[in-house]
Amino acid sequence: MCINELVKKVAKGYSDGLVLSYWDFQKETCKENHKAGDSLAGFIAKELKDTFDPDASDSQQIDEAKRFLLSAASQLESTAQALENELSGGSRPVEERASMTGLQSPIR
């Protein structure tokens, strides 16, 4: 699959398809879009570009996109939990929080 196809597939799962507003289909690359106001969508577009391998199979491309999305989700969850811990005065290890969400810990 070409990178534009992968971007379209990913954009289907993102609210309002905003990932597309950070993608230049003619140049097949990510682009800045300060008017869109969604840096997470921009991050996804950039990661798709950075991790795309034109020689990989469709399933390998999808697996790699899933890998970086799940890794980012785990990191966001850990960050949100750290803030929650600040409010509650408690603390849970990152690995325990990651196992609660079913994601891998970003800390190795």
Span 19-42, mean pLDDT? 93
- Give the model's pLDDT for residue 104: 59
Domain ranges for the chain = 1-52, 56-108
Q: For residue 8, what pLDDT band results from cuts at 50, 70 and 90?
A: very high
Top-confidence residue, 15 or 77: 77
pLDDT at 64: 96
DSSP per-residue string spanning the chain: --HHHHHHHHHHTSGGGGGGGGEETTTTEE---TTT--HHHHHHHHHHHHH--TTS-HHHHHHHHHHHHHHHHHHHHHHHHHHHHHHHS----HHHHHHHHT---S--
pLDDT tens readout for residues 88-107: 886 666 556 555 556 555 54
Q: What is the per-residue pLDDT for 108?
A: 40
Per-residue pLDDT tens digits for 32-83: 998 888 899 999 999 999 999 999 999 999 999 999 999 999 999 999 999 9
